[in-house]
Amino acid sequence: MRMTRALSLLFAAALSLVTACGPAQPAPTSIPEPTAGGPATEEPVALKVGILNFMSHAPFIIAQEEGYFTEEGLDVELINFISGSSELNAALHAGQIDAAGGTLSANILNAIAQGSTVRAVADKAFLNPQAKCATDAIVARKAHIDAGLLDDLSMLRGMKTAISAGSMSDFSTTTLLEETGLTYEDLELTNLPDYASRVEAFRSGSLDFAVLTEPWLAKAVEDGTVGVVLTLEEALPNYSSGYVYFSKSMYARESDVGVRFMTAYLKAVAQYNEGKTDRNVELLSEFTQLEPDVVRLMCWPSFRGDGMIDLPTVEVFERWAVEAGHVDSFVPVENIWDPQFVEAAAARLGR
């Protein structure tokens, strides 16, 4: 626990420096102001939404299956990018899809800096320090932990780890290493952005420690493949780990379309936040292709009911990305985050 507390304090110190810099500026005036209209009475508006097979994409599934999109006059096609986030992000920036779930990464920041009009418009999970379980964690082979090889985390030197450069897992891992006095040069690195591949690498002995998320985290811990070194909920409290993004094709539509989409999304978040009800478990079991018992076992990501994100943690991540050389220049937060749609949707829902 000493390392957990030290890393949390390091993150909190960085957070206090950012918070002291002043409040975020309003959304860019080039982005249209929405009007809070109801569902269209004409033909439903067709939208394409990119998703990945992660639990944090659950509200999209709930909104689709429970008819919340339909109630708002939207005909939503959910496109599961099984090939991964790189392809999803490319489609998002090209405007080939209208919206998507994703994370904040160096790739997103660089694209915005280069003129992409993609904006984060709502929370899609955060690292809740009050949660009773962990959705994301730095883990190590269970055999290493049992043998006491990580009693002193400076013993990570020389071990094999997997990173995805410029991502949240990279951010958390480098922050942990800084606390131990190590850098990536002290490790053996492998590029395994796919979490299923990381679990297999742990099992084969070709990976020593890395970040895992749900649903892979719970299964790998339960079967004894890995043990938790540090939960990200403890290390990066309140960090906004997921976002809903709108692309230029969504911004080109009547602005009430974005508000209606967000209204359906917040309805789905409210249902999700009811917890592991039979209906939610049924829907997420079908989505993840996991048995209901496994879905109940998993730690479910936390969602803010109002759809807002934690702006100071966005700036902490971005400052790290700039210092680490993943991003060329600092992007003003108002060019990343556009709250107008979620605010208008919350007003429609009386929240």
Residues 157-191 have pLDDT tens digits of 999 999 888 888 899 888 888 888 899 999 999 88
Measure the CA–CA gap between 96 and 36, rounded to whole angstroms: 25
CATH superfamily of 2-35+42-126+239-348: Periplasmic binding protein-like II (3.40.190.10)
Measure the CA–CA gap between 180 and 204, rounded to whole angstroms: 27
Please state which architecture CATH assigns to domain 136-235.
3-Layer(aba) Sandwich (3.40)
What's the pLDDT score for residue 1? Answer: 34
Q: What is the pLDDT along the chain (351 residues), one digit of tens a residue?
A: 334 444 444 455 445 444 444 443 344 434 444 444 455 457 899 999 999 988 899 999 999 999 999 999 999 999 999 767 889 999 999 999 999 999 999 999 999 999 999 999 999 999 999 998 999 999 999 999 999 988 888 889 999 999 888 888 899 888 888 888 899 999 999 888 788 899 999 999 999 999 998 888 988 998 999 999 989 998 889 999 999 999 999 999 997 999 999 999 999 999 999 999 999 999 999 998 889 998 998 899 999 999 999 999 888 999 999 999 999 889 999 999 999 999 999 999 987
Residues found in the chain:
351
Measure the CA–CA gap between 60 and 100, rounded to whole angstroms: 9
Give burial (CB, 10 Å; 0-12/13-18/19+) of 57: buried
Give burial (CB, 10 Å; 0-12/13-18/19+) of 121: buried
Reported pTM: 0.85
Q: How far is CA 293 from the centre of its chain?
A: 24
What's the pLDDT score for residue 147? Answer: 93
What's the pLDDT score for residue 154? Answer: 87
Adjacent-strand bridge partners of 211: 138
Please indicate whether the domains covering 2-35+42-126+239-348 and 136-235 agree at the CATH topology level. Answer: yes
> 48 near 79, Cβ under 8 Å?
yes
C-alpha separations of 185 from 7, 177, 264 in Å: 20, 11, 47
User: Residue 122 — φ and ψ, nearest 5°?
Assistant: -165, 160
Break the chain into its structural domains and give their ranges.
2-35+42-126+239-348, 136-235
> 155 near 215, Cβ under 8 Å?
no
